[in-house]
């Protein structure tokens, strides 16, 4: 085998022969330049491993791989072989693994992998309830892409995804919803990061962030989002209930429940009206109220200790919400205050054993009876926040109640401030928690609005 100092000038001028040539470099131990009869040039390294056996490892093709990089790789390979690393064995294993990955994992498999990997700290990828292991994202994806679940992801095209989304029809369509585009839009949003993770794109493009091995899959972002062209789906809602609408609704939000529509549930078993009032008085999310148990109510300190609140980043976090006397009195009016077990729901369904449900039918009847339409239960949270701001409560306090920001961060505090300042701990008996004060003023405003309607 000819031996010489391999240079770029040599590689650019070397002439091919009838058989493959191998040129051994005099600079880098083991580096070989191979010149094929067609003129193609590649690099390899041939050295002895830690057991004295000669190993030949292909490095790459020139000029895609520069001579300088080939020298660096040859040096790395030499060191690995001397340390006992079986480089060719690892290459074979990786090829086999990649081949299997491209042919075997189905969409169902990938969804499960993502749920237990990057998604495990996100609320939408955690079990949706105590009686199911299915996550919200998992449910939506399984419905919209039902016919693709057992298809290998490498074979799912953007066109196939678009066809699945455009042809989706809910199994149990709600009369309150005019299309399935909202559900389809959610499925598209949930699937996009999953496929990016599989292919190593976007925020998963950095080394170590993507699935191993990666698989080339369709880019979900190239498909149409049906919500963008559906006038019935709004982006950021701005609906709040005005004082006249609140005067119509508030008298019906009490316990025991008044007769609303053709409701056949006994008044003492229907907690939906009082739950709506509680949502309005605390600016809480519907799911937080529906899942609220008596164990979360700290009666001694008048605090609602939420174990988990919605978080857009990271895993779920808790929230301690101080409650003024008006809200405590509402809770005391419920039979569970004295008799319930810690695990019982504060606002149970009609059986007394499960969380509240059947909201659409109830709200349709409520809307008809009050003449107030086009509002969602989440609009009560927006109404509460807007009303607190209108009656002069500090924005930082409102943000804290809504749990959009930590109390100290809202006021410009540092990340470490929370270590030394406990916002829900009282030292002075005479001091008032600003959140409790804001909610107390909100309760007074709601009472005034309701009184004006009598």
DSSP string computed for 95-115: HHHHHHHHHS-BHHHHHHHHH
- pLDDT tens string 65-117: 999 999 999 999 999 888 888 887 777 766 665 555 455 699 999 999 999 99
The token pair at 89 is 């064995």
The beta strands (E) that lie in 244-316 are given as 297-298, 303-309
Is the pLDDT at 338 greater than 80, yes or no?
yes
Integer Cα distance of 234 and 142 in angstroms:
24
CB-facing half-sphere around the CA of 161: CA atoms within 13 A:
28
CB-facing half-sphere around the CA of 5: CA atoms within 13 A:
3
Integer Cα distance of 64 and 43 in angstroms:
11
Average pLDDT of the segment spanning 370-375 = 92
Contact 289, 278 (CB under 8 A): yes
Q: What is the pTM of this model?
A: 0.56
Question: Is residue 226 helix, strand or coil?
Answer: helix
Residue reference for tokens 């961060």: 409
Q: At what angle do helices 272-282 and 359-370 cross, to 10 degrees?
A: 80
**229 pLDDT band (50/70/90 cuts)?**
low
Contact 346, 327 (CB under 8 A): no
The token pair at 116 is 């237990």
- pLDDT tens string 392-420: 999 989 998 998 755 556 566 665 655 56
Which of 425, 403, 401, 423 has the alpha carbon at shortest distance from 413? 423
Integer Cα distance of 121 and 115 in angstroms:
9
Q: List the beta bridge partners of residue 44.
A: 32, 58
Residues ≥6 apart with Cβ < 8 Å to 131: none
DSSP labels for 3-70?
Answer: EE---HHHHHHPPP-SS-EEEEESSSTTEEEEE-TTS-EEEEEEEE-TTS-EEEEEEEEETTS-HHHH
**231 pLDDT band (50/70/90 cuts)?**
low
- pLDDT tens string 17-37: 999 999 999 999 999 999 999
- pLDDT tens string 306-323: 998 875 555 567 899 999
Worst-scoring range by mean pLDDT, 48-52, 258-262, 308-312? Answer: 308-312
CB-facing half-sphere around the CA of 1: CA atoms within 13 A:
15
């Amino acid at each position: 085998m000819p031996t010489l100092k391999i240079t770029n000038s040599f590689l650019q001028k070397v002439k091919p022969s009838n058989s493959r040539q191998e040129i051994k470099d005099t600079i880098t131990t083991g580096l070989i330049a191979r010149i094929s009869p067609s003129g193609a040039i590649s690099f390899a390294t041939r050295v002895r491993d830690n057991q004295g056996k000669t190993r030949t490892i292909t490095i790459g093709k020139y000029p895609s791989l520069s001579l300088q990089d080939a020298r660096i790789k040859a040096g790395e390979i030499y060191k690995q072989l001397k340390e006992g690393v079986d480089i060719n064995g690892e290459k074979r294993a990786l090829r086999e693994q990649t081949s299997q990955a491209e042919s075997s994992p189905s969409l169902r498999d990938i969804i499960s992998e993502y749920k237990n990997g990057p998604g495990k700290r996100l609320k939408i990828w955690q079990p949706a309830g105590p009686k199911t292991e299915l996550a919200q994202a998992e449910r939506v994806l399984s419905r919209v892409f039902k016919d693709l679940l057992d298809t290998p992801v490498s074979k799912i095209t953007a066109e196939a995804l678009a066809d699945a989304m455009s042809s989706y029809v809910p199994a149990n369509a709600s009369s309150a919803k005019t299309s399935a585009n909202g559900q389809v839009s959610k499925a598209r949003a949930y699937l996009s990061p999953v496929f990016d993770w599989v292919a190593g794109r976007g925020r998963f493009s950095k080394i170590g962030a993507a699935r191993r091995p990666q698989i080339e899959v369709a880019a979900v972002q190239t498909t149409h989002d049906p919500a963008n062209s559906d006038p019935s789906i709004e982006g950021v809602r701005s609906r709040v209930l005005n004082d006249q609408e609140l005067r119509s609704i508030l008298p019906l939000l009490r316990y025991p429940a008044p007769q609303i529509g053709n409701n056949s549930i006994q008044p003492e078993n229907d907690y939906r009206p009082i739950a709506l009032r509680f949502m309005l008085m605390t600016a809480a999310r519907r799911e937080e109220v529906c899942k609220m148990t008596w164990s979360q109510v700290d009666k001694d300190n008048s605090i609602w200790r939420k174990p988990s609140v919605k978080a857009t980043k990271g895993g779920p976090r808790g929230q301690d919400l101080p409650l003024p006397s008006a809200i405590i009195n509402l809770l005391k009016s419920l039979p569970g205050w004295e008799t319930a077990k810690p695990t019982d729901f504060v606002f149970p369904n009609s059986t007394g054993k499960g969380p509240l449900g059947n909201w659409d039918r109830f709200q349709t009847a409520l809307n008809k009876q009050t003449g107030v339409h086009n509002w969602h239960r989440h609009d009560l949270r927006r109404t509460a926040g807007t009303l607190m701001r209108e009656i002069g409560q500090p924005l930082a306090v409102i943000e804290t109640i809504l749990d959009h920001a930590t109390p100290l961060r809202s006021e410009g505090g540092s990340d470490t401030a929370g270590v030394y300042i406990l916002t829900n701990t009282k030292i002075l008996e005479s001091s008032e928690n600003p959140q409790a004060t804001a909610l107390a003023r909100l309760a007074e405003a709601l009472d005034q609005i309701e009184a004006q309607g009598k």
